[in-house]
Amino acid sequence: MFLKELSLQGFKTFARKTTLRFLDPQNGTHAITAVVGPNGSGKSNVADAIRWVLGEQSMKLLRGKAATDVIFSGSDGKARAGFAEVELTFADVSGIEGIDFSEARISRRLYRDGESQYAINGKTVRLADVHMFLAQANVGQKSYSVVGQGQVDHVLSASPEERKSFFDDATGVKPLQLKRHQAALKLRRTRENLEQAERVVQEISPRLTTLRRLVKHLGQRDAVETELNNAQIAYFGTLWNDLQKQLRETERVHDLCEATADKQAQALQTERDRMAHMEQAPIETDDTDSEEISTIQVRYDALQEKRTEIRERLFEAQKRFEIAKVKSANTWTPLPLSMIIERIGALSSALKLLKEQSAHGTLNARAMDHILEQSEELLRRLQKPAPESQKPSAELVTSIRALQTQESAVVTELATIKQALHDHAEKSKNERKAFFALQNSLLSLQDQLRVEESKRNEARVNLARVETRLEDLEHDMIETLGDHVGAAKTYKGRANTDDLHVRIQQLRHKLDMIGGIDEETVAEYEEAKKRHDYLEEQIADLVSALRETEKLVDELEEQIKKQSSQAFAQIQKQFEHYFKILFGGGTCSLKEICAKDVEMEANEEADTENLESRIENPNRVIGIEIQATPPGKRLKSINLLSGGERAMTSIALISAIMATNPSPFVVLDEVDAALDEANTHRFARIVEELAQTTQFIIITHNQATMRAASVLYGISIQDNGVSQVLSLKFEEAEPVEA
């Protein structure tokens, strides 16, 4: 890659559009361009233009105050420009990222209102894109690509830290550092995003856990509900079947009791009818009966009296007959003496009694008759009867016979009447017996009926109870099972209802614990889960991005370290080489200063640059120290060098850097100003050597330097303060001069 063209318009003294063309390299060697001209002609403005188009922001380096100071400010004969524009054309840029063409035109334009614009190949870009392009093209910015007038020893007067930055430019690690910077930025963004995502996840996690538990419970609900429903169907089905069976049995018993009680009632009725009939009928006959009976009784009594009378008469008659018979038998026997004495004694007592009675006037005729009879009897027994008087008379016999007939007639009638009475008594006794029997039977029937009725009532109560229970059960079933009542009523199995009851209570409790299905909860859970999953995924992505970026940073860091230490060694070597050429001897060295060497400052700096803190470590190089001792001298501090020595040391270092990490081009504005003639020649030799790899644009007043150039551009300034460029090829010019 090399510079092909520089075009300026409205930039400082270049009011008109002015183009400087540079030669293509020949046989691998770059042409050296020298810009010459009188003081104040605008040579340094060319260097400024190149610095400016490459994105320089420092107005100090551009020798101005305000940004718009670079715009042509006008003069007596020329109006000021509205804008400044510089365009730099690079040729042979293949291999640079984002550049599809073989040429790259970098341009910068600034208007008076401050509006600024960068473009690459006419396409507006950001400054960062320009930086990236330059870094890839290995064009350093802070460094030596443009060494301003009087700034050649800047590398010596700069602080070790500034020098380090300069070296980074030089060692070609800038693109890597840029990449590392971007990676670090990405790291920070990723970390921030990760923290934020983790924070959000942390915020929603507890709610999500709660929701997950809820939804899990809700998921169980279906299973519990199904089991509960089945358990309830089995439970109620079994109860229903049992009760149905009980109902049938109770109905059967009830019907039986009803029939029995009816039959019993009928039987009782029949007996009652009989009783009523019996109670109505017998009374009238009784009256006549008793009348008849009393007549018969009267007759009976009369007959008995008559029989007694007949018997008495018969007895009298028979007695007389007997006596007659005895008399007729003639066998008289006197009474024994003892008896006679006894009977006379009795008579005597009776007479005494009689005498007493007569004395009292209460004389009893019958008693006297009795005494008389007794005494006559005794007399008869003591006298011997006359034989004729002793024979029974026929009349007596007849009388006895008549009496006997009468008696037998009376006895016969009496027997008949007695029989009749007996029959009558017997009859009424039987009737009474039948009545009582009926009465008993009625009572017993009533008792039985009462028993049967109580049985029937019990059966009715039982039936009603079972029916009520069935109704209650059905009501419960409808309430509990709803549409599943049919399933329970047709349940075929037989379950243990006690166990089921316990299980049903458990399941209901479980359902209560689970709670109702809340669609909003499910929706909220799904929403939260979606968000959570998304965040988790994002976190995973971020973490892996973080790892990758960290890895990238580490790799870059490693690469930077490797590359810079290699380059540093190389620069050190070349520094010595060029130092010796320029000074014709002497010693010089470069020394890296590590973070641990400069603790305080480094740490403070690290704080402000916390992006880089991750890759901060005590061994990190933070500065470069320079030592230079010209031949024959002992001093080591570069501060003690003369102006020319400073310039040569600086040139040696810049040359060493260029040799190590060639920049595509370099602009040197009067770096040879302080050199004596001999040293100018040495300088020219070095430039020629380095032109192998670097394109030189050298602003100079030195002849020797001019002679090293292939092309000369003469800058002149006109009266109106506008620079003009005269192009002059050396090969062509030389013959003119010669």
Residues that bind Mg ion (CB under 5 A): 43-44, 149
- Minimum CB separation from ligand ATP for residue 53, in Å? 16
DSSP 114: S
- Minimum CB separation from ligand ATP for residue 31, in Å? 22
- Minimum CB separation from Mg ion for residue 601, in Å? 36
Q: Which is nearer to ligand ATP, 35 or 106 (CB)?
A: 35
Would you tell me how many other CB atoms lie within 10 Å of the CB of residue 549? Answer: 21
Q: Which is nearer to Mg ion, 43 or 51 (CB)?
A: 43
Q: What is the C-alpha to C-alpha distance for residues 652 and 177, in angstroms, rounded to an integer?
A: 26
Angle between helices 283-329 and 394-481 (to 10 degrees): 150
Q: Which does 72 bind (CB under 5 to 8 A by kind): ligand ATP, Mg ion, none?
A: ligand ATP
- Minimum CB separation from Mg ion for residue 670, in Å? 6
Q: Which is nearer to ligand ATP, 39 or 338 (CB)?
A: 39
Q: Which is nearer to ligand ATP, 237 or 721 (CB)?
A: 721
DSSP-derived pairing of the beta strands 33-36 and 695-699:
parallel
CB 340 within 8 A of CB 382: yes
Nearest by Cα to 663 from 155, 95, 152, 136 = 136
CB 327 within 8 A of CB 409: no
Q: What is the C-alpha to C-alpha distance for residues 339 and 352, in angstroms, rounded to an integer?
A: 20
Q: Which does 45 bind (CB under 5 to 8 A by kind): ligand ATP, Mg ion, none?
A: ligand ATP
- Minimum CB separation from ligand ATP for residue 6, in Å? 14
Q: Which is nearer to ligand ATP, 662 or 714 (CB)?
A: 714
Q: Which does 660 bind (CB under 5 to 8 A by kind): ligand ATP, Mg ion, none?
A: none
Q: Pseudo-torsion of CA 85, 178, 601, 554, nearest 10°?
A: 180
Q: Which is nearer to ligand ATP, 66 or 736 (CB)?
A: 66
Q: Which is nearer to Mg ion, 106 or 715 (CB)?
A: 715
Q: Which residues bind ligand ATP (CB under 6 A)?
A: 12-13, 37, 39-45, 69, 72-73, 149, 721
Q: Which does 37 bind (CB under 5 to 8 A by kind): ligand ATP, Mg ion, none?
A: ligand ATP
Q: Which is nearer to ligand ATP, 160 or 721 (CB)?
A: 721
Q: Which does 643 bind (CB under 5 to 8 A by kind): Mg ion, ligand ATP, none?
A: none
Q: Which does 229 bind (CB under 5 to 8 A by kind): ligand ATP, Mg ion, none?
A: none
- Minimum CB separation from ligand ATP for residue 47, in Å? 8
Q: Which is nearer to Mg ion, 149 or 193 (CB)?
A: 149
Would you tell me how many other CB atoms lie within 10 Å of the CB of residue 41? Answer: 20
- Minimum CB separation from ligand ATP for residue 151, in Å? 12
Q: What is the C-alpha to C-alpha distance for residues 391 and 376, in angstroms, rounded to an integer?
A: 20
- Minimum CB separation from ligand ATP for residue 556, in Å? 40
Q: Which does 42 bind (CB under 5 to 8 A by kind): Mg ion, ligand ATP, none?
A: ligand ATP
- Minimum CB separation from ligand ATP for residue 62, in Å? 9
Q: Which does 13 bind (CB under 5 to 8 A by kind): ligand ATP, Mg ion, none?
A: ligand ATP
Q: Is 391 helix (H, G, I), strand (E, B) or coil?
A: coil
Q: Which is nearer to ligand ATP, 73 or 627 (CB)?
A: 73
Q: Which is nearer to ligand ATP, 42 or 664 (CB)?
A: 42
- Minimum CB separation from ligand ATP for residue 112, in Å? 11
* Alpha-carbon 116 to chain mean position: 61
Q: Which does 165 bind (CB under 5 to 8 A by kind): ligand ATP, Mg ion, none?
A: none
Q: Which does 682 bind (CB under 5 to 8 A by kind): Mg ion, ligand ATP, none?
A: none
Q: Which phi and psi (to 5°) does residue 361 adopt?
A: 80, 10
Q: Which does 280 bind (CB under 5 to 8 A by kind): ligand ATP, Mg ion, none?
A: none
Nearest by Cα to 122 from 141, 101, 92 = 101
User: How buried is residue 376: exposed, middle or buried, by Cβ count under 10 Å (0-12/13-18/19+)?
Assistant: exposed
Q: Which is nearer to ligand ATP, 78 or 531 (CB)?
A: 78
Q: Which is nearer to Mg ion, 48 or 169 (CB)?
A: 48
Q: Of all residues in the chain, what percent are helix, strand and coil, respectively (each to 5)?
A: 65, 10, 20
- Minimum CB separation from ligand ATP for residue 116, in Å? 16
Q: Which does 721 bind (CB under 5 to 8 A by kind): ligand ATP, Mg ion, none?
A: ligand ATP
Q: Which does 73 bind (CB under 5 to 8 A by kind): ligand ATP, Mg ion, none?
A: ligand ATP
Q: Is 428 helix (H, G, I), strand (E, B) or coil?
A: helix
- Minimum CB separation from ligand ATP for residue 714, in Å? 11
Q: Which phi and psi (to 5°) does residue 407 adopt?
A: -60, -45
Q: Which is nearer to ligand ATP, 149 or 589 (CB)?
A: 149
Q: Which does 41 bind (CB under 5 to 8 A by kind): ligand ATP, Mg ion, none?
A: ligand ATP
Q: Which is nearer to ligand ATP, 66 or 329 (CB)?
A: 66
CB 657 within 8 A of CB 629: no
For the sheet containing 123-125, what is the strand order? 18-21, 2-9, 83-91, 104-111, 116-120, 123-125
Q: Which is nearer to Mg ion, 44 or 679 (CB)?
A: 44
Q: What is the C-alpha to C-alpha distance for residues 499 and 145, in angstroms, rounded to an integer?
A: 97
Q: What is the C-alpha to C-alpha distance for residues 51 and 142, in angstroms, rounded to an integer?
A: 10
The DSSP line for 296-362 is: HHHHHHHHHHHHHHHHHHHHHHHHHHHHHHHHHHT---PPPHHHHHHHHHHHHHHHHHHHHHHHHT-
Burial 387-421 (b: 16+ CB within 10 A, else e): eeebebeeeeeebbeebeebbeebeeebeebeeee
Q: What is the C-alpha to C-alpha distance for residues 678 and 78, in angstroms, rounded to an integer?
A: 43
Rg over CA atoms, the chain = 84
Indicate the residue type of 191: R
Which residue's CB comes closest to Mg ion? 44
Which residue's CB comes closest to ligand ATP? 39
Q: What is the C-alpha to C-alpha distance for residues 549 and 555, in angstroms, rounded to an integer?
A: 9
- Minimum CB separation from Mg ion for residue 148, in Å? 9
Would you tell me how many other CB atoms lie within 10 Å of the CB of residue 270? Answer: 11
Q: Which does 713 bind (CB under 5 to 8 A by kind): ligand ATP, Mg ion, none?
A: none
Q: Which does 650 bind (CB under 5 to 8 A by kind): Mg ion, ligand ATP, none?
A: none
- Minimum CB separation from ligand ATP for residue 64, in Å? 7
Would you tell me how many other CB atoms lie within 10 Å of the CB of residue 189? Answer: 13
- Minimum CB separation from ligand ATP for residue 673, in Å? 9
- Minimum CB separation from ligand ATP for residue 21, in Å? 20
Burial 451-486 (b: 16+ CB within 10 A, else e): ebeebbeebeebbeebeeebeebbeebeebbeebbe
